[in-house]
Structure 1
């Protein structure tokens, strides 16, 4: 009886998450016109979701031309998402990062290359041990040029791997900054078990395969 109840609960949970991702409000986000973020002091911003933002933050901060990475939430249909609310899978949001970079040093195209090089591109709804719609992979575009770059690289990778690439492609709408304690987490908490066992190994795998001339000595 306990097993039946557990199975029922799991079924309801996944049904809630799936309906949250496919409801009308979420479709409005997917079909919206992208918002372009203007340059500020010569710096551009790009947005990516790829599993736990602690991991993604460390990856992008290791790339030359990236000034700062901010953790937050994006891609959903609710306002002012929090860590707790996004973890329900009902807000439509995924853990995401805002990458602030110098476009004269590193291109958006290179940032997309880094995105695919730093993850398992075929894993659906998560990365590594982090599973759920809040950990799904999304690349956000701000204009048609960025969208074209993303789709071409996604198609090329799909052919190379002979597999379906899990990353969704969304028009950028809004980035909600995460709680203060999530910022610079890998740098501030190097001995945290998750950082030691998941984030740092993921960063090392990325740095081992990405062109050395595009990486900083430290991050």
Structure 2
């Protein structure tokens, strides 16, 4: 059975000096990290946290990290910064970044990846059979004029981003929900190889039959 937790994160774009883009990597009350409501989707030691906000370190000993990837196209994303979950339930440590090379008015492409902190990337965490997950790749446009903080958090505002506004169902990835990330335990490569051998044997059996 697939074991998963869900997370929702918010990225907002503002302006810095010299029309340089600025990104605020935070969570608010509507965009928190949550464990799936079904205990069966969690590690056994974490089952008691089902439906609650994530903690800095789970009973199973897992610490989750959010990675912020930015690029000028969907195919040119690179790691810009990482932040761990804070001790406050369901949130991460917020941070502000001035984006050199990403001027105001120029669209940027963004993806949030979440992983077990024991691994260097979400991809490696997945290959290692641990928690990993990815948001959809979405676009944002840094403003060319100052934006008040309250306007920045209104992430569905015109020209701010393609982020979908509103309250989210944290137990599923909805169409248009840019922030929902399903974090699962991916089978280790050896297990995947065995599954592949089984599928190949079945195909061979069917052909011979």
TM surpasses 0.5: no
Which protein is bigger by CA-based radius of gyration? 2
Structure richer in helix, relative to its length? 1
Structure richer in strand, relative to its length? 2
TM-score by length of 1: 0.31
Q: Greater RCO between the two (CA within 8 Å, min separation 6)?
A: 1
